[in-house]
Homo-oligomer: A and B are copies of this chain.
Amino acid sequence: MTAKPSKPIIEAVSVVANDRITEGVGLMVLRAPKVAATVRPGQFVHLRLDTHSETILRRPFSVHRASGDHVELLYQVLGAGTLHMAEKRPGDTSMDVVGPLGHGWVIPDGLRHALLVAGGLGAAPLGMLAEHLAGHGVAVSIAQGAPTATRLVARQLFKRVARVVEVATDDGSAGERGLVTGPVARLLATERFDVAYTCGPEAMQRVVAGMLAEAGVPCQVSLERLMACGIGACLSCVVTTRDGFKRACVDGPVFNAEEVLWDASQIPPKH
């Protein structure tokens, strides 16, 4: 289940749909047949929004789902790029992607029960994983956290494929009040997992990875870094690991939690 990733390509894309799904979050469906056919859970695409914009760099987005000719991106509107993204209309053909990129989630042989821990938009790369695992008969339990109920993205998908979805919100508007660590602790206390996958704010991932280490469950984390090239050439995306710097774009974004040294805050702090 962990074949060598297929070679990335540049693919022109067209917008099939682009809808605001909640305050500040959009779901963009792109026609991208080649990427859709080869992308694996946890991989990402590097999206070029415009060729005459003053923001010249591509933007990395996990593939949230892929089916047929389509890939779906679940994105939070933050700055110039994602604002522009939110303005794109169906039929738009001004964008292209480089992808599929990176090493996705590693699915160990004989996996029977997986825990997925999503914080906020960290749900994005876990969507395709959850569907994939369920489709292969793996039992999936999900712990999901968000600031408030409306920010619990991908809920339908998670409910559809997971055996259990436990939820926490900062304001208690859905599930229990508090951090996602609550549900994680509860699930760990009652069930046995072969592996855990987590994505979300780095501080959250770090705490979750610690809990899983203590519980003896191997944990994979998906890390965000500023990425200029996305293909391993620029060294802008380094992650400090036990083996020195690694590049999040090609050596990650998925890492084994135990190799990551959580010693740097890499992303512009506003996010």
Q: Which of A's residues lie within 8 Å of B, judged by CB? A: 50, 52-56, 80, 84
Contacts and interface: CB of A to CB of B under 8 A. Distances in A.
A52 B56 CA distance: 11
A90 to B, nearest CB: 13
Top-8 shortest CB links A-B? A54-B54, A52-B53, A52-B54, A52-B80, A53-B53, A53-B54, A52-B84, A52-B55
Contacts of A84: 52
Nearest to A84: B52
Given A50-B52, A52-B55, A54-B54, 7 more contacts: A52-B53, A52-B54, A52-B80, A52-B84, A53-B53, A53-B54, A54-B56
Contacts of A52: 50, 53-55, 80, 84
Main secondary structure of the interface of A (DSSP, over half): loop
Determine which residue in A50, A52, A80, A84 has the highest number of CB atoms from chain B within 10 A of its CB, and name it.
A52
Contacts of A80: 52
A53 B56 CA distance: 10
Contacts of A55: 52
Nearest to A91: B89
Nearest to A80: B52
A50 B84 CA distance: 12
A139 to B, nearest CB: 46
Contacts of A54: 52-54, 56
A84 B54 CA distance: 14
Nearest to A83: B52
A79 to B, nearest CB: 11
A50 B52 CA distance: 10
A54 B57 CA distance: 13
A54 B56 CA distance: 9
10 contacts: A50-B52, A52-B53, A52-B54, A52-B55, A52-B80, A52-B84, A53-B53, A53-B54, A54-B54, A54-B56
Contacts of A50: 52
Contacts of A56: 54
Q: Which of A50, A54, A80 has the most CB of B within 10 A?
A: A54
A84 B84 CA distance: 16
A117 to B, nearest CB: 36
Nearest to A55: B52
A87 to B, nearest CB: 9
A211 B227 CA distance: 63
Contacts of A53: 52-54
A80 B50 CA distance: 13
A59 to B, nearest CB: 14
